[in-house]
Amino acid sequence: MNIRNIAIIAHVDHGKTTLVDRILHTTKVFRDNQDTGDLIMDNNDLERERGITIFSKNAAVTYEGVKINVIDTPGHSDFGGEVERVLKMADGVILLVDAFEGPMPQTRFVLQKALQLNLHPIVVINKVDKPNCRPEEVHDAVFELFFNLDATEEQLNFPTFYGSGKNGWFNDSLTPTDNILPLMDGILKYVPEPQVEEGTLQMQITSLDYSSFLGRIAVGKVTRGTIRENQPIALVQRDGSIRKSRVKELYVFEGMGKKKVAEVLAGDLCAVVGLEDFNIGDTIADAENPEGLPVISVDEPTMSMLFSINNSPFFGKDGKFVTSRHLRDRLMKETEKNLALRVEETDSADSFLVYGRGILHLGVLVETMRREGFEMTIGQPQVLVKQIDGKKCEPYETLVVDVPSDYSGKVIDLVTQRKGEMQVMESKGEIHHLEFDIPSRGLIGLRSQMLTNTAGEAVMAHRFREYKPWKGVIPGRINGVLISKNQSPTTAYSIDKLQDRGAFFVDPGEEVYIGQIIAEHIKPGDLVVNATEGKKLTNMRASGSDDSVRIVPKIQMTLEECMEYIQQDECIEVTPRHIRLRKIYLNEEDRRKYQKMQKVEGA
């Protein structure tokens, strides 16, 4: 049977998952009367809520007698580790670009990886139904990007399709049709069949799956030979060591699921059950004369965060898993399938240092764990510093901001304060396109400030670039916080009296404890306040004194916003039902001692 393996790559929110939906419907994977909803491949709750793809996924469809393995990849740079390895399974890529925004930083990053692997590209310019879209200009920008990335003559001669995934049409011209068949024909025409070499079995493990019945499942593409059920194999590991094993069961992808088979020929993607202690990048090879494939390299993490057990007075009220053993086992299990994540044990048995690609990458892990019933305390995200040629170096990122021209001055001012340097400034009609070189530290907390200063109009994206010399101190949060003095429910009477001191994170009647952060102060410096005092009742009444109090609703912050908000002496208590900000040292006396130590060390 003919096979085509194709990965869909694009910047976040350019329409990859919607395109996969259209392919699944066009190839009749579902019955006509079956209600499938939208974003079929984003089957994880977190993905649906946030509207982003987090994990790469496989589907297989049959069109005109040809089996097409479709790989949907994440578009956010924090999940770049997923994209880098799954591209190894593909022979061609569909590069999806928004007809208004054009190529974005993540587009450049994944396209570069695809071109280096010599994959055949098809460019799809999506959302041509949007107002102000400029498909011809975007096509020229894509060509320029290919040229800048040293594409070969053959790759520069890429086919282009235009359309709207939302409205369900793609064509090789700007004339709307009522289906995506021109694009499906283009996949068969322009994506080559897998290149199969002669020789014994070789299959690189590029992805992991997990089943509570079958255990860990190895997923990859058979590049050479044939793999059969019950076949003895050799597992060639990253360090060159070889371990003997046996294939218990074999599955190929079919529609949205998997189908059990007796053998898989070279060129097809498959899932292997029965192997133990394998890692991504290992090669499944012939038992008699094993040959390993080059190891997959994934970019290093750029950020770390301290995960500890929850030691607040409200410990154990919400969660099922609260001990350090639970926390350790869960983090170690995550490293098995999350390639860009690393976990290190610290001097304290209750704390673990977790390294990831960015705030969203680490935030998704914390959010997943709290939904599973974990309680924990997480510290302020820190960037990883390296010593290169005897100099202290930190990670730098390329930051791209598209903003209405009225606000461009505010954006430049904000980024410059955080040690960013402007590289590009172009105008696209009413919109200004700005590109900066900025230390990763400068991005922490930038998004919320940027949206506030541009009335929510700014669209920003960033990706890791390189390590460069340390840029000096970057100013953090200017305002201090209000800290609770007592452990008790808050009262409307107290909050009303304190409203002119700051903006509150708690509502009246909410339980708080000593050392919990309950509001943002209007001035620099922290203040300990009593928000739990009730009104003293007397038998005297004066006109106007009993007017109902008017409380401003509390500020609701997401987990990522909290991670960007906290300072070095603060942390976040995360439980299945609550996210609370608190000081690391709950006792005021301990906080003073800590501040004195910091001053001594700083001096």
18 annotated to bind ligand? yes
SS3 content of the chain, % helix, strand, coil (to 5): 25, 35, 40
Task: Let me know: does 571 contact 379? Beta carbons within 8 Å.
Answer: yes
Q: According to the annotation, is 419 in a ligand binding site? A: no
How many H-runs (helices) and E-runs (strands) does the chain carry?
A: 15, 35
128 annotated ligand binder: yes
Element (H, E) at 600: helix 588-602
Place of tokens 């956010």: 76
Exposed/middle/buried for residue 371 (C-beta within 10 Å: 0-12, 13-18, 19+): exposed
Q: What span, in angstroms and rounded, lies between the C-alpha atoms of 128 and 9?
A: 18
DSSP code per residue over 40-79:
TT--SHHHHHHTS--S-EEEEEEETTEEEEEEE---SGGG
Dihedral (CA of 493, 496, 501, 506) sign: positive
**Cα-based distances in Å from 367 to 46, 47, 78:** 8, 11, 15
Q: 169, 184 in Cβ contact below 8 A? A: no
Euclidean distance between CA atoms 532 and 512, whole angstroms: 9
574 strand-pairing partners: 376, 579
15 has binding-site annotation:
yes
Integer-rounded Cα radius of gyration of the chain: 27
Flag whether 36 is marked binding: no
Q: Which of 221, 206, 190 is nearest to 73 (CA)?
A: 206
Per-residue DSSP letters for 84-152? Answer: HHHGGG-SEEEEEEETTT-S-HHHHHHHHHHHHTTPEEEEEEE-TTSTT--HHHHHHHHHHHHHHTT--
Residue 17 in marked binding region: yes
97 annotated as a binding-site residue? no
3-state DSSP assignment of residue 8: strand
Instruction: Name residue 117's amino acid.
Output: L
88 is annotated as contributing to ligand binding:
no
- Residue 499 is classified by DSSP as G
Would you say 320 is a known binding-site residue?
Answer: no
- Residue 82 sits at the vertex; the CA angle it makes with 339 and 227, to the nearest 5 degrees, is 85
Q: What gap in Å lies between CA 301 and CA 297, rounded to an integer?
A: 12
Residue with tokens 């040809």: 66
Question: How many CB atoms within 10 Å of residue 152?
Answer: 10
First to last CA, the chain: 72
Known binding residue 16? Answer is yes
Separation of CA 486 from chain center: 38
Task: Please give the distance of CA 131 from its chain centroid, rounded to a whole number.
Answer: 29
Question: Binding site for GTP: what residues are annotated?
Answer: 13-18, 126-129
- Residues belonging to the binding site are 13-18, 126-129
